[in-house]
Amino acid sequence: MSFLFGSKNVKTFKPKKNIPEGTHQYDLMKQAAATLGSGNLRLAVALPDGEDLNEWIAVNTVDFFNQINMLYGTITEYCTEESCTVMSAGPKYEYHWADGQTVKKPIKCSAPKYIDYLMTWVQDQLDDETLFPSKIGVPFPKNFLSIAKTILKRLFRVYAHIYHQHFSRIVDLGEEAHLNTSFKHFIFFVDEFSLIDRRELQPLQELIDNFVNN
Residues annotated in a binding site: 79, 84, 161, 166
Nearest to 165 by CA among 40, 104, 99, 75: 75
- Check if the beta carbon of residue 188 is closer than 8 Å to that of residue 141: no
C-alpha dihedral sign at 123, 128, 131, 132: positive
CA–CA gap between residue 77 and residue 131 (Å, rounded): 33
Which pairing describes strands 94-95 and 87-88: parallel, antiparallel, or unpaired? antiparallel
Question: How is 35-59 classified by DSSP, letter by letter?
Answer: HHHTT-HHHHHSPPTT--HHHHHHH
CA–CA gap between residue 90 and residue 23 (Å, rounded): 41
Other CB atoms within 10 A of residue 43 CB: 11
**How distant, in Å, are the alpha carbons of 6, 50, 64, 146 from that of 196?**
29, 24, 14, 10
- Binding-site residues from annotation for Zn(2+): 79, 84, 161, 166
- Check if the beta carbon of residue 94 is closer than 8 Å to that of residue 87: yes
